[in-house]
Amino acid sequence: MSLTSEAVFDALRVVEDPELGMDVVDLGLVYDVKVDGDAVSVIYSLTSMGCPAGAQIEQDIKDVIGSMEGVGAVTTELTFTPPWTPDKMSDDAKFVLGF
């Protein structure tokens, strides 16, 4: 299996925002994934700057990607530009959360 950004996005579906009980991909929190050889970088956001689960989400992202076959290095970047809004969520997430 080759390491692709699509494969990383799929793997990140197991990382949940514990407050909302939904994965970070469906919530629209993963802004970008770059794969360069065995190095993977992820730009992600949180639903709010004061999100108490921020450190846990970052660690879960690193753990999930780090356990993927062929990954040598993982870097994460937290951004609030652009700020997260509910319209970044998948249609399924909007339905489940009542948006």
Query: Which residue is associated with the tokens 């999930």?
Result: 64
- Quote the pTM value: 0.93
Give the per-residue pLDDT at 83: 93
Q: What is the DSSP string of 31-94?
A: EEEEEETTEEEEEE--SSTT-TTHHHHHHHHHHHHHTSTT--EEEEEE--SSPP-GGGS-HHHH
Kindly tell me if the per-residue pLDDT of 1 is higher than 80: no
Cβ atoms of 88 and 79 closer than 8 Å:
no
Q: Residue 26 pLDDT more than 70?
A: yes
Identify which has the larger pLDDT, 27 or 99. Answer: 27
Look at residue 99 in the predicted model and tell me its pLDDT. Answer: 87
**pLDDT confidence of residue 46:** 96
**Residue 2: what pLDDT?**
81
Instruction: Give me the half-sphere count of Cα atoms (radius 13 Å) on the Cβ side of residue 11.
Output: 20
Supply 70's token pair. 């062929």
Q: Which fold has domain 5-85?
A: GMP Synthetase; Chain A, domain 3 (3.30.300)
Average pLDDT estimate for 67-88: 96
